[in-house]
């Protein structure tokens, strides 16, 4: 049973179609969304951002937990937690911007 209220990731962007559309599909190939070409020329970036949605949500959930490499020293713990959150956020940002 799917624990999510959305289609489980990963979501994958396809190649531009004959009408300028970019399909976004889940791992079994089912269509999630379609981004259409327009005058902004942002359709590839938009499709990558939409496709990254499951991973972005998971990154936010991980950050929200507030867990990291724990230490007895509060300052070290805070520093480690911040670094862990940055790493999670950087991975999600890279995925969402197509720089994975």
CB half-sphere exposure, 66, CA atoms < 13 A: 1
Q: Where are the domains of the chain?
A: 1-51, 53-100
- Per-residue pLDDT tens over the stretch 68-98: 554 455 666 666 677 777 888 888 888 888 7
- Per-residue pLDDT tens over the stretch 13-40: 998 888 889 999 999 999 999 999 888 8
Q: 2-16 in b/e burial notation, b at 16+ Cβ within 10 A?
A: eeeeebebebebeee
How far is Cα 23 from Cα 12, in angstroms, rounded to an integer?
8
């Amino acid at each position: 049973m799917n624990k999510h209220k959305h289609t489980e990731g990963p979501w994958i962007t396809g190649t531009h179609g004959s009408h300028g559309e970019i399909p976004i599909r889940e791992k079994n190939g089912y269509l999630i969304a379609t981004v259409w070409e327009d005058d902004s020329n942002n359709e590839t970036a938009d499709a990558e951002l939409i496709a990254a949605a499951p991973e972005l949500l998971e990154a936010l959930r991980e950050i929200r937990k507030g867990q990291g490499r724990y230490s007895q020293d509060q300052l070290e713990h805070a520093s480690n937690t911040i670094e862990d959150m940055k790493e999670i956020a950087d991975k999600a940002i890279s995925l969402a911007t197509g720089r994975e």
